[in-house]
A and B are shown apart, each in its own frame.
Chain A
Amino acid sequence: MSEEKRELTEEEKADRERRKIKSAGAMRELMTKYYIEAKGAEGTDRHIAWITSGAPVEPLIAFDVIPVYPENHGAMCGAAHMNVELCEVAEGRGFSRDLCSYARGDIGSAITKGGPIGGLPRPTFLVACNNICNTVFKWYEELARFFDVPLFIFDTPFVRGDLPPHIEDYSVRQMKEYISFLEKITGKEYDEPRFVEVAARSLFASALWKDVLACNEHRPAPMTCFDAFILMAPIVTLRGTQEVVDFYQALLDEMRQRIEEGIGILPSERYRILWDNIPIWYEMRNLGKLFMELETCLVADTYTSAWTFEGVDAERPLESMARIYTEVYLNINLERMAEKIESLAERYGVDGMIMHSNRSCKPYSLGQYDLAKEFTRRTGKPALIIEADHTDSRWYDRAQVEARIRDFVENLL
């Protein structure tokens, strides 16, 4: 795409300003404050836990532990085009290039303190839940050895169809074990009313996030998935806190206002697309420009909706949380995934689906060939699979991917 640099007219400037999502600034402030607080806690009495994105964070908040997310940091490093050099550090220590680039980058950053914020604060313990993949527990075992800190693994067996009672029982018992682990580490007693309060806030924020995403059912869509990929940071990292509830309430208000005023995120929205898999973080800007040029809006995705939880029973908070975390999108079978993408396609009125076959994420990617066919069979809409890696740009061929996206969009409808 040739980019002619020219001065925007006053009208264009005003239009661009009108379409800009104002809450993005509040989110940057929230995340900056969070990282400053987390980094400032290093070396103090305050506990810092590194935790996987799909793990139950509510107990940490209830125990006043600062949660830190290497995956969120990985996305930052990827978007800042700094993850490859961190991966190379890990590769130099013998970690294969075929391993997840979040993991490689994080190991590299732990060694060098590299990345856009000078690395993450040193953890006092670690929590990993394999509901998103089994790579995380190997990655966290490596971190546990590197930092010489305790590691809690929350083991969530794969769920096929309805949740069987013995899996639920296993998850609930581990939730209780997790609480005991936290009591031992922090020296504090479990305070159930506090946990219920945190869980309620988490649930409330997640419901707000769900409503924010649902705003994109409207035409024109008030945001794209590229915005959602950024705006999801607080629900991933800080759910359970009041600031996050406040942030998503304000974001929802803004989205509803945009709908009311007919403000779409793109100057012109011709096609609507469903996205599958983790974003290609280092390529967000280029792909964003490409889709804008093609008048195509990514209106929904299977990724950001992973943090929309439902069904917490205040009488049985631990049991509810155990069940919620066991049945996340990446821990269910293909049939249930096909149902989900079909439902998203219908609700958001999409014209097709683009799937990112992500070298770094086998549980998300393996099955896409089948899901793509199933999507077309169920909806009559086409699907495109593009090859990349979420943060290792060495596996990405920009010219080829952009050409395939152009062909795909040009042949829509």
Chain B
Amino acid sequence: MQRLVEIARDPHGALREAAREGKGVVGYFCSYVPVELIHAAGFTPVRMLQGPPPGEVAGRYMQPFCCSFARSLLEGLGDGTYAYLSAVVMPHTCDTIRNLSDLVETAAPGTRVMRLMVPTVTHTAEAADFMLAETEALKEALEDLAGEELDRERLFQSIRLYNRCRDALAGLKGSGLGNRALYAAYLAFQLMDPEEFLALASSLSRGPADRDARAREAGSAESGGAGVALVGGPVPQLEVFDLLQEYGLEVVWDDLCTGSRFAAGAVRENGDPLRALAERYLGRRPCPTKRDPDNRREEELVKGVAAGGARGVVFLQQAFCEFHSFDYPGLKKRLDAEGIPSVRLDLEHPFAPTGQMRTRLQALSEMMGEGR
């Protein structure tokens, strides 16, 4: 457990080491990037989640009304934090990241940028074909980087490996690990070699578990507490989960970009592997940057809350994220109608729990207590 927490807190040390030993590392920006392709091409895929706090580089290229998540990544690319990466895959998910993929060229000259245009519409045949074409283009860019062709069997090996990792992660859910340990595992999955992750995650889920001991090992409070569901974007800071635990809130379901939206849903292990990847990534539970004609996010939130036994919801949004901000009023209205209390916390990097956050969590905790 300790190793997963270490990786989640600071992935750069181990990855730099791996890069020095000749194992190429490719960074990627969001959960719509098919990591299996990167892995099959011979690279360790690492999610770019937390660069240094936004500073001089970000200030030179980006307005302060852009999210600190994007500003931090540009800072890290510009100041050399990510110099160990062989390439960066940047999908066009939101307007900020889209423009950022241009700015990287001047802020961090020499960075090899691969772009992936994930369609905004996900439910049409045209979008499926477009996603396939983009996946093929990414495969070609990775082959070019690797200097060799990526064969079908290697791609299926990576698909199977990541599917097993997702299964192992699913096995950890609901096992009472506590917030910190569970989300450290989620984050580590996106930040390390998948084979090592699989070995660690499998050992955790084997045998009669002393769950509280494992939770203590992860550095979090003992498991247990009132169940909450989380909704939001990337949440790379373990301190956020500690804060929830402080108020007796244990996460039982999530719709987070670094949580189940990344990990849920296997890739088909037969047929055309590229189409299988395109289908899985386009067909997964939509993130707010995607058109959602059937209101899946709202319906699955209500179902998830019921299935997980959550008695409240915490929205965790990056400050300035317009997509989550657009969805918030509708989701909240639905929760209110269902009698489910919720609060919203706006996150910035670096994370510091504010008095307002504490007040809101205290209020939620009390509302949940009253609802029993």
Contacts and interface: CB of A to CB of B under 8 A. Distances in A.
A170 B63 contact: no
B126 A134 contact: no
Interface string A122-150: 00000000100111011101100100000
Contacts of A362: 65-66, 95-96, 99, 322
A95 interface: yes
B124 to A, nearest CB: 7
Task: Identify the interface centre among B92, B106, B130: most chain A CB within 10 Å of its CB.
Answer: B130
A153 B293 CA distance: 10
A99 B95 CA distance: 13
Interface stretch (B45-53, B200-208, B213-221, B324-332): B324-332
A112 to B, nearest CB: 16
A169 B96 CA distance: 26
A166 B330 CA distance: 35
Contacts of B137: 166
Interface string B78-122: 000000000000001011101110110010000000010101110
Given A98-B320, A134-B120, A370 B326 contact: no
Contacts of A370: 61, 103, 106
A96 B328 contact: yes
A84 B132 CA distance: 44
A190 interface: no
A198 B204 CA distance: 66
B115 A95 contact: no
Given A157-B130, A166-B130, A357-B63, A138 B95 contact: no
A367 interface: yes
B326 A139 contact: yes
Given A177-B124, A369-B61, A135 B95 contact: yes
A12 B98 CA distance: 51
B121 A155 contact: yes
Interface string B310-338: 00000000011011011111101100000
Interface stretch (B144-152, B191-199, B284-292, B364-372): B284-292
A158 B115 CA distance: 10
Interface string B58-77: 00111101100000000000
A266 B292 CA distance: 50
A359 B320 CA distance: 10
Given A138-B288, A170-B130, A155 B95 contact: no
Nearest to B298: A145
A375 B370 CA distance: 61
B95 A94 contact: no
Contact of B102 (A133, A134, A333, A359): A333
Contact of A359 (B65, B119, B127, B329): B65
A363 interface: yes
A366 interface: yes
A136 to B, nearest CB: 10
B133 interface: yes
A174 interface: yes
Contacts of B17: none
A155 B127 contact: yes
Interface of A: 93-96, 98-100, 103, 130, 133-135, 137-139, 141-142, 145, 151, 153, 155, 157-158, 160, 166-167, 169-170, 173-174, 177, 333-335, 357, 359, 362-363, 365-370
14 contacts: A95-B325, A98-B322, A99-B326, A134-B94, A134-B289, A139-B326, A155-B291, A157-B92, A160-B115, A167-B117, A167-B130, A363-B99, A367-B99, A370-B103
